[in-house]
Amino acid sequence: MEVSGTAKFGTRAIHAGQSPDPSTGAIMTPIYQTSTYVQQSPGKIIGEYDYSRAANPTRAALEANLANLEGAKHGLCFSSGVAATGAVLHLLSSGDKVLLGDDVYGGTNRLFNRVFNQMGIETVMVDMTDPDAINAAMDERTKLIWLETPTNPTLKIADIKQVASIAKQHGVMLAVDNTFATPFLQNPLSLGADIVCHSTTKYIGGHSDSIGGALLTNSDDLHQRLKFIQLSEGAVPGIMECFLLLRSTKTLHVRMERHCENAAKVAEHLNNHPQVEKVIYPGLASHPQHELAKKQMCGFGGMITIYIKGGLDESRAMLEKTKLFACAESLGGVESLIEHPAIMTHASVPADQREQLGISDNLIRLSVGIENVDDLIEDLDRALG
Ligand SMILES: *Cc1c(COP(=O)(O)O)cnc(C)c1O
Site to probe by mutation for ligand 1, drawn from 80, 112, 199 as the one with most ligand atoms within 8 Å of Cβ, is: 199
Is residue 202 flagged as an active site residue?
Answer: yes
Q: pLDDT confidence of 345, banded at 50, 70, 90?
A: confident
The CATH number that domain 9-249 falls under is 3.40.640.10
Q: Ligand 1 pocket, 179 CB below 6 A?
A: yes
Neighbouring residues of 294: CB distance < 8 A, sequence distance ≥ 6: none
Q: Give me the pLDDT at residue 1, please.
A: 58
Distance CA 29, CA 287 (A): 42
Neighbouring residues of 232: CB distance < 8 A, sequence distance ≥ 6: none
Q: pLDDT confidence of 5, banded at 50, 70, 90?
A: confident
CA of 201 to the centre of ligand 1 (A): 7
Catalytic residue among 102, 177, 194, 361: 177
pLDDT, tens digit, for every residue of 143-175?
999 999 999 899 999 999 999 999 999 999 999
The residue type found at 117 is N
Distance CA 220, CA 216 (A): 11
The CATH number that domain 252-384 falls under is 3.90.1150.10
Q: pLDDT confidence of 22, banded at 50, 70, 90?
A: confident
Phi, psi of 304 (to 5 degrees): -130, 140
**Which residue CA neighbors atom 8 of ligand 1 most closely?**
81
pLDDT, tens digit, for every residue of 38-89?
999 999 999 899 999 999 999 999 999 999 999 999 999 999 999 999 999 9
Q: Give me the pLDDT at residue 30, please.
A: 96
The residue type found at 131 is P
Residue intervals of the chain classified under CATH 3.40.640.10 are 9-249
Neighbouring residues of 50: CB distance < 8 A, sequence distance ≥ 6: 36, 37, 39
Q: Which atom of ligand 1 is nearest to the CA of 84?
A: 9
Q: Ligand 1 pocket, 211 CB below 6 A?
A: yes
Q: pLDDT confidence of 2, banded at 50, 70, 90?
A: low
CA of 105 to the centre of ligand 1 (A): 7
**Which residue CA neighbors atom 7 of ligand 1 most closely?**
81
The pTM of this model reads 0.96
Q: pLDDT confidence of 216, banded at 50, 70, 90?
A: very high
Phi, psi of 241 (to 5 degrees): -60, -40
DSSP per residue, 240-303:
HHHHHHHHHHTTHHHHHHHHHHHHHHHHHHHHT-TTEEEEE-TTSTTSTTHHHHHHH-SS--SE
Q: Give me the pLDDT at residue 18, please.
A: 94
Q: pLDDT confidence of 385, banded at 50, 70, 90?
A: confident
> What is the enclosing helix (H) or strand (E) of 364?
strand 363-367
Is residue 53 flagged as an active site residue?
Answer: yes
Q: Which of 221, 235, 182 is nearest to 204 (CA)?
A: 182
- Could you give the C-alpha distances from 365 to 181, 205, 218, 341, in angstroms and in order? 16, 20, 34, 7
Distance CA 375, CA 240 (A): 34
For residue 107, pLDDT beyond 80: yes
Half-sphere exposure of 350 (CA within 13 A, CB side): 7
Residue intervals of the chain classified under CATH 3.90.1150.10 are 252-384
CA of 130 to the centre of ligand 1 (A): 24
Is residue 177 flagged as an active site residue?
Answer: yes
More confident residue, 1 or 196: 196
For residue 98, pLDDT beyond 90: yes
> Mean pLDDT of all residues in the chain?
96
Mean pLDDT across 214-218? 98
Using DSSP bridges, classify how beta strands 142-148 and 97-101 pair: parallel, antiparallel or unpaired. parallel
The end-to-end CA distance of the chain, in Å, is 53
Is the CA virtual torsion 217, 218, 220, 222 positive or negative? Answer: negative
For residue 140, pLDDT beyond 70: yes
Q: Give me the pLDDT at residue 109, please.
A: 92
Q: Which atom of ligand 1 is nearest to the CA of 180?
A: 13
**Which residue CA neighbors atom 6 of ligand 1 most closely?**
81
CA of 330 to the centre of ligand 1 (A): 8
| Angle between the N-to-C axes of helices 373-384 and 252-271, in degrees from 0 to 180, rounded to the nearest 10 | 40
pLDDT, tens digit, for every residue of 304-340?
999 999 999 999 999 999 999 999 999 999 999 999 9
